[in-house]
Amino acid sequence: MIHYPYENFYAMLERVTEENPSKRVIFIDDKSFSYQSFLENVDRFARALELIGISKGERIALICPNGIEFVQSVFAISKLGAITVPLNTMLKNEEYRYILGDCGAKILITASKFAKEVRNLSETVETIEHTIWIDQAPIEDSQHLVLDEILSDHLHTHRPSPAKLDDTAVIFYTSGTTGHPKGAMISNRNLFSNLVGAKERFDLCSSDRFIVYLPMFHSFTFSIMVMLPFFTRSSFVIIPSILPFSNIIKQTLLKRVTIFMGVPDIYNALIRAKLPWYFLWFNSIRCFISGGSALSEDTLNRFRSTFKRATMLEGYGLSECSPAVAINPLEKQKTLSVGLPLYGYEVKIVNDEMLELPIGEAGELIVRGDCVMQGYLNNPDATAETIQNGWLRTGDIAKVDKEGYIYIVDRIKDLIISKGINIYPRQIEEQMMLLPQIKLAAVIGMNDPHSGEVPIAFVELEEGYEDTTQAFIKSQLKEHLAAFKIPKTITVVESLPKTATGKVLKRVLKQGLN
């Protein structure tokens, strides 16, 4: 049974600050924050949120860049017992409208760089009472507030309602293969179970230093890159933007980063980059961790020959599991394996009837343990389909060897993973078929050396629109979909392959790519 030393994120921060008040926890550009100064900033923000009416159980959405404000928000929200809803900063206005309406967000915290897509959300989503801008407000009225102007001089809330271990702490909106994104409800227990397992697996200590350059809204970054350093009394370096990539290399060296986490796209870039000799000689990295999708054997081999003093550990997870499920141990890694389950978690490989399969046989990977989400917000049917008798069905095909190491073979679902970000084809297809020119659309993933996968589309055109171009369709989609969801290619076909009932045979389309 896992022992949990804290009930919520804020309680963790308070305890760590009592023990390490002057230690630097966050580095960003030329600034740094001690645990004590960070806690004081959190307390001021929590008081400001309380004064505008936030109480326990209410949802606060974040559309924020990587920065101190994102992290402060999460802990301030936790202090009030409210729920953080971190959102992908690359979405479009109508995508935000759906998610904010679905979760019933009361407050939106955002930045002026996203003004084009978010500025009218407080008017179009009826539950939103205020938009808090972390820098400057493009609109000045009672609904739009500037963070610096609302921060209170008082450090403590009047009526703190601390969240309990089994209260929902975060809602991660995760891409599925059909319909709209679903909100995976993650409790404090769920997320702390990940932190307990990761601390043990990576043998972390207070002298470790992480680097955070991947988007903080992503469940992997949120849990393993942002919250884990607080749990281990460590520190981390925030990189506001992934570009220029040379800055990540520079900060890794100058700030003496020991734990470097990324996705295959980043590691492929590192291998291709002409790294200066002094970086290879003087970096402090002891452990590289990869998630999101599988690294190729060639990349793994080249990486190990380049960084001889560090260990590369591949892992596996999904938002519904808070998110980490398995990671290779430091003492023994297996190429192409995502490793062993974290402490306290169980996995099985099962057939369609949920019966366990023999060692080495491929089937669906299912997971049980404190990492399994509470369910999908407002979607009991999807929850019942995904969680059965306490086991979460991942939709991924995998196998295990006799030592329990997990190997991901394929995905049952049509999910596309591009640069570690999930893309669900159904949303793109539905948007395409809103165009009068398109009769039917099918979107699948195509392997890409830089992104892992990219979406591509096949379409049937309506009669009379035979001269519709790929460029025109893309231009129409850009008004409604995030850039990473726009199909790389759009191929017009006379007829898509279908079953007798009219369902498009995507496997036939995928076979045509080989």
Residue 360 DSSP code: T
* Contact assessment for residue 488 and residue 456, using Cβ atoms and an 8 Å cutoff: yes
Print the SS3 string covering 247-277.
HHHHHHHHCCCCEEEECHHHHHHHHHCCCCH
* pLDDT, tens digit only, all 514 positions of the chain: 789 999 999 999 999 999 999 999 999 999 999 999 999 999 999 999 999 999 999 999 999 999 999 999 999 999 999 999 999 998 999 999 999 999 999 999 999 999 999 988 988 999 999 999 999 988 878 889 999 999 977 777 766 678 999 999 999 998 644 568 899 999 999 999 999 999 999 999 999 999 999 999 999 999 999 999 999 999 999 999 888 888 999 999 999 999 999 887 788 778 877 888 899 999 999 999 998 767 777 778 888 889 989 999 999 999 999 999 999 999 999 988 999 999 999 999 999 899 999 999 989 999 999 999 999 999 999 999 999 999 999 998 899 999 999 998 876 767 788 888 878 787 888 789 889 899 889 999 998 888 889 999 999 998 889 888 999 999 999 989 999 999 999 999 988 887 544 567 887 888 877 6
3-state secondary structure of 214: coil
Q: How high is the pLDDT of residue 31? A: 95
Q: Are residues 243 and 384 in the same domain?
A: yes
**In whole angstroms, what is the distance from residue 404 CA to residue 492 CA?**
46
**In whole angstroms, what is the distance from residue 71 CA to residue 488 CA?**
34
Q: Are residues 13 and 157 in the same domain?
A: yes
Q: How high is the pLDDT of residue 501? A: 43
User: Is there a domain that residue 1 lies in?
Assistant: no
Give the distance from CA 406 to its chain's centroid.
21
Phi, psi of 276 (to 5 degrees): -65, 150
Q: Are residues 221 and 339 in the same domain?
A: yes
CATH of the domain at 434: 3.30.300.30
Structural domain containing residue 270: 187-411
Examine the fold and report which residue of 411, 432, 460 is the final residue of a domain before the chain moves on: 411
**In whole angstroms, what is the distance from residue 236 CA to residue 209 CA?**
5
Number of structural domains in the chain: 3
Task: Collect all residues with Cβ–Cβ distance below 8 Å to 148 and sequence separation of at least 6.
Answer: none
User: Is there a domain that residue 402 lies in?
Assistant: yes
User: Is there a domain that residue 177 lies in?
Assistant: no
Secondary structure percentages of the chain, helix, strand, coil, to 5: 30, 25, 40
Question: Position 364: which residue type?
Answer: E
User: Is there a domain that residue 2 lies in?
Assistant: no
User: Is there a domain that residue 226 lies in?
Assistant: yes
Examine the fold and report which residue of 365, 383, 411 is the final residue of a domain before the chain moves on: 411
Q: Are residues 384 and 471 in the same domain?
A: no
Q: How high is the pLDDT of residue 440? A: 87
**In whole angstroms, what is the distance from residue 167 CA to residue 176 CA?**
24
The two beta strands, 324-327 and 340-341, are: antiparallel
Helices 35-51 and 68-79 pack at an angle, to 10 degrees, of: 60
Tokens linked to 60 = 């606060």
Q: Are residues 353 and 327 in the same domain?
A: yes
Residue 124: Cβ within 10 Å count: 13
Residue 236: its H or E element: strand 235-238
* Contact assessment for residue 63 and residue 41, using Cβ atoms and an 8 Å cutoff: no
User: Is there a domain that residue 176 lies in?
Assistant: no
Q: Are residues 119 and 197 in the same domain?
A: no
Task: Collect all residues with Cβ–Cβ distance below 8 Å to 83 and sequence separation of at least 6.
Answer: 57, 58, 59, 60, 77, 168, 169, 170, 171
**In whole angstroms, what is the distance from residue 47 CA to residue 36 CA?**
17
Task: Collect all residues with Cβ–Cβ distance below 8 Å to 275 and sequence separation of at least 6.
Answer: 249, 306
Phi, psi of 220 (to 5 degrees): -65, -50
CATH of the domain at 62: 3.40.50.980
Q: Are residues 380 and 493 in the same domain?
A: no
Segment 221-226 long-range contacts (CB within 8 Å, at least 24 positions apart): 221/261, 222/74, 222/86, 222/170, 222/172, 223/191, 223/194, 223/195, 223/322, 223/323, 223/324, 224/194, 224/198, 224/261, 224/289, 224/291, 224/323, 224/324, 225/261, 226/71, 226/74
